[in-house]
Structure 1
Amino acid sequence: MTTNADGPQTPARRRAPAGAAVLREDVTEAIRLAVFEELAAVGYARMSIEGIARRAGVGKTAVYRRWRSKLHLVLDVVSALAVMGLPVPDTGTLEGDLRLLYQVTSRALRHPVASQIIPDLQAEAARNPDIAEAMQKTLREGQEGVASGIVAAAQRRGEIRAGIDEDLALDLISGPLYWRSVVIRSPQLPKGYLDALARSTAGALRAL
């Protein structure tokens, strides 16, 4: 019977190198999920390693084997969102790509957990430069890759000109929906809002 860093395991033919800590991935994922739930429930300031461990059904030691502190744990979880990303839409038109992007992003931003976590972390980012950097990486890189793909596809189709200001294009694509959903936190988008936003953004990109 072999054991790992998180508890006993089934018999295995190959032993881990002496002194190596083999961390169970299912435990790691349970802790990450517990972080999201704990952030939504109590916020960053009141969140504790004890609360995370209790929610994940593990001991505090299992958390500390993976992350040195609450800050490192949250930064790791938040930063991981950046690499998850959204698939680049491929509807065949600029307006269609934008509409699909807005539909998917809107659902994600309005998820009960995300709607609690993002504003809380933004407030914490104003006091903590490490969280601010992680938030910027998460929100900008995730959207930037998708927006760049939409712009590049539209350029190949001849819908917008080559050489446009990509930073301005990203602001035009991502800014309005984040303003409405994250900053203002509108409880419900007006009927037809996403269609109108896609149409207006496509027009603005063509005018660049």
Structure 2
Amino acid sequence: MATDNRRVPAGAAVLRGEITDAIRQAVMQELAAVGYGRLSIEAVARRAGVGKTAIYRRWSSKLEMVLEIVSRVAGQSLPLPDTGTLQGDLEILLRIVARALRHPLASQIIPDLLAEAARNPRIAQTLQESLRVNQRDVGNQVIGRAVDRGELPPGTDPDAAVDLIVGPIYWRLAVARTPLPDDHLPRMAASVASALGAGPPTGPGRSAAADGAATLPTPR
């Protein structure tokens, strides 16, 4: 069996993963602390403990750096376990979204980037593309499973459903910044399921969780 003994050419830049990770974390912290408008390459380098050259080896500008990092974060898939019912799945999704929106970094970064998106078409496009991919993934999982179980009719629009699911919690936490009562997310999940016209599970997608065996994660 042949062995690949190729080496990186002499003089070629080797981008160490731990440095890239440190820079990405520093960017998120700087965005939360000062916002996109006041963020600088110098401040990111200081926070990451690297030289500016390390940043410019990876990204050509502040905008390119922020777009790549925000795209990675916004496009991350959400772990959505199958509880066996639409209402159970919705409650888990709402807990995940609420936890993300209350995160110390995200709660500062999201409003700032949305404001920047109104002024910068490239930021707007990146956010829209990343979030749309995530929305389709969430919709296909949650709504697709509900259709398979017979809770929702075939042809239910996943994108419209996700708007209905996520919109109210985003408004409450990111815009109005209103605290959530302990029973708010279960009540919201029930209301959204009702608004979507969900019936009891009847199809082959029904699982033991539909009979109360599912355990929802406790928000931290």
Verify the 8 A CA contact 1:89 1:101 in the aligned structure 2. Answer: no
1:96 aligns with 2:82: no
1:170 — aligned with what?
Answer: 162
Cα distance change, pair 182–144 in 1 and its aligned pair in 2 (3 A): farther
Offset at residue 205 of structure 1 (A): 1.4
1:142 — aligned with what?
Answer: 134
TM superposition score normalised by structure 2: 0.83
Give the root-mean-square deviation of aligned CA atoms: 1.6
Match of 2:185, as an amino acid?
L
1:180 aligns with 2:172: yes
Q: 5 Å matches for 1:28-177?
A: 28-177=20-169
Q: Give identity over the alignment, percent.
A: 60
1:201 aligns with 2:179: no
Equivalent-residue separation in structure 2 for 1:30 and 1:205 (angstroms): 43
Equivalent-residue separation in structure 1 for 2:148 and 2:171 (angstroms): 29
Stretch deviating more after TM superposition (147-156 or 135-144): 135-144
Verify the 8 A CA contact 1:99 1:195 in the aligned structure 2. Answer: yes
Equivalent-residue separation in structure 2 for 1:118 and 1:43 (angstroms): 10
1:4 — aligned with what?
Answer: none
Offset at residue 70 of structure 1 (A): 0.5
CA deviation profile, 1:156-199 (whole Å, cap 9, x unmatched)? 1000100122332121122111111222222x112311011100
Cα distance change, pair 39–82 in 1 and its aligned pair in 2 (3 A): closer
Cα distance change, pair 168–159 in 1 and its aligned pair in 2 (3 A): same
TM superposition score normalised by structure 1: 0.88
Equivalent-residue separation in structure 2 for 1:163 and 1:169 (angstroms): 11
Equivalent-residue separation in structure 1 for 2:165 and 2:55 (angstroms): 38
Equivalent-residue separation in structure 1 for 2:136 and 2:7 (angstroms): 43
Offset at residue 84 of structure 1 (A): 1.7
SS in 2 for 1:63: helix
SS in 2 for 1:206: coil
Verify the 8 A CA contact 2:74 2:134 in the aligned structure 1. Answer: yes
Aligned residues: 194
Equivalent-residue separation in structure 1 for 2:11 and 2:98 (angstroms): 47
More helix by percentage:
1
Offset at residue 105 of structure 1 (A): 1.2
- 2:180 aligned residue (186, 189, 193): 189
SS in 2 for 1:84: coil
Cα distance change, pair 132–80 in 1 and its aligned pair in 2 (3 A): same
Verify the 8 A CA contact 1:87 1:146 in the aligned structure 2. Answer: no
Match of 2:194, as an amino acid?
G
Match of 1:72, as an amino acid?
E
Gaps of 5+ in 1: 1-12
